[in-house]
Amino acid sequence: MPVAPTPVSDVRDVVSQGLLHIHFQPIVHMAEGRVFGHEALIRPQSPSPWTTPDTLFAAARQCGWTIELELECLRLALQAWARSAERGWLFVNLSAEALIQALMRDGLERVLRQARSAGLPLSCVVVELTEHEHVQNVDAIQQALSMLRRYGGSLALDDFGDGRSSLRLWSELRPEFVKIDKYFIRHVHETSHKLKTLRALQQLADTFGSRLIAEGVEDADELMVLRDLGMDFVQGYFLGRPQAQAVDALPQEALDVLGNREIAVLPQDRHASNRGLTARTLLKPAPSLPATATHDEVAALFNRRPDLHAVALVEGDRPVGLIARKTVQDLYLRLYFRDRYGPRPCTLHANLNPLLVDVHTPVEQLTKVLTSNDQRYLTEGYVITEGGRYLGLGTGEQLVRAVTEARIEAARHANPLTFLPGNVPITLHIERLLDNGQDFVACYADLNHFKSYNDHYGYWRGDEMIRLQAECLTGACDPRRDFVGHVGGDDFVLLMQSADWQRRIESAVAHFNRRARGLFDEAARAAGGIWAEDRQGVQRFHPCTTLSVGVLKVGPDQFHRAEEVASAAAWAKHLAKQSAGGIHLMDGREAIARLNQQAAAHPLPG
């Protein structure tokens, strides 16, 4: 008769009965496209009542046996790795508390000696420090790390960025590796703020001398972005799931991504914003007067300070009114005003409901001032406060300039009408394509007879036409391979790596031309266009708006600067607008010859 398995009622029974098995998940070296190492992961086996590592360790915490369980998992991992045919790097998990306690109990040194005696070189072992949010005694951790490194081992911070990890700990411990929490990896190809976070972490890694491992890679798009970012190492289901045996080869789909010479289309901010620009940039320090000040006292201050456009009236440090220089000047021009009103309170003619702006208010939020019905704010200005206390004044002129400059700068990064990338991201993507040294297609698209449509129907319907143009162009592109940018107005740039780019462009042109007719009135559709003034002010007939696309085929090493590509594509667009089909294809060699001719005809001054 078969012997019935011994009942398992305690975490210690799981260990004593050998119910803990080690699995290995590969960690991949991105630049070399090979398996660099493996992370050892514990898996409880039947008849253990705890089927996952989380439930097993929860039970160990309840009975106060966590440190012993962690050390047992470490011993099993090192033992299994010593028997393994693969001898790359091995990453093993230990909490900060376990690392410290094991040192105090001589447990860690004993385990490391056992591994070395089994023939395992500890120079390939990396301890992943988990639960580092609980680190209180950094000195004790440093002492444990000294022992680990004395045996040849290395340190990794696990799950960095999960909301609990410590930048200070990174700085103090100087780990050889830092594993980025999978939150920042998931959908990184669609999320610009995650992309920015990874770039910031790369800068920190350079500063602290660590190498980064991106955890949780689950699809090709994520891997492609991480590859283009120059991430050191990656780990995740797309590169291999945990299994009983270490692996020496990657799945074919992962190899395809790492060997693919196309570049990823990186996610962009879809909204124009200037989050760093606040009302502090508009602050003009200026003296105030008490709310009881007389007209004569206000006039005297303006005489002493010709630079003041207004003066704030305060009760204590709280502003309660504002009186403008022009108001006082106009009042004192009245006959007998000085005699009758000079000694009386200036609150009789002050604005007792001035605009109060906190110094931390983003400038973009102040655009409501420019469009409000009360235009006094543009002439007399406004009061700038901090926590309700008076700081100084702002002028309408400064506000108009700041908002205008902020919007211009924002439009360079993301067009406010379509939210597509602007000039700066377009230039950066062209540079990435040129650096990559592969064929791509640069397209310059704009509309025919758009000005007459915009003048005839108004800017509101003109914006609708441009949004349709953006929809048709983006709809024809593969978002993983093709980049769409909005230069401004009806000018768009497409940077395409799709092999079927010609079909896509032809589809976009046909789709737009068909739908654009629907934006004209019925009479205009029947006539095929509208009567409107041309650029010389002459009334003439303008056909319905259509789309033209100049196409530039760019080969390796044909162009060296983004400006050259943009200029050549713009010339192709000029020829497209003259063609019957609305598309003109220009080869890179032809474009270079034309650019050289232009340079010879118009040389730069010496």
Query: How large is the average pLDDT for residues 259-273?
Result: 78
Q: Which of 212, 214, 89, 72 is nearest to 152 (CA)?
A: 89
Alpha carbons 299 and 328: distance in angstroms, whole number: 7
Proportion of the chain above pLDDT 70, given as a percent: 91
CA atoms within 13 A on the CB side of 159: 12
What's the Cα-to-Cα distance from 265 to each of 37, 153, 262, 428, rounded to whole Å? 29, 39, 9, 11
Please give the average per-residue pLDDT across 553-566, as a whole number. Answer: 93
Alpha-helical runs (H) found in 333-394? 337-341, 367-371, 376-380
Give 35-94 pLDDT, tens digit per residue. 999 999 999 888 788 888 888 888 888 888 888 898 889 889 988 888 876 668 999 999
Residue appearing with tokens 């086996």: 45
pLDDT tier for residue 132 given thresholds of 50, 70 and 90: low
How far is the C-alpha of 556 from the C-alpha of 438, rounded, in Å?
5
Per-residue tokens: 455 = 């003048």
pLDDT score of 570: 93
Output the pLDDT for position 108: 72
* Tens-digit pLDDT profile for residues 425-448: 999 999 999 999 999 999 999 999
Is residue 99 classed as helix, strand or coil in its secondary structure? Answer: helix
pTM: 0.72
Band the pLDDT of 604: cuts 50, 70, 90: very low
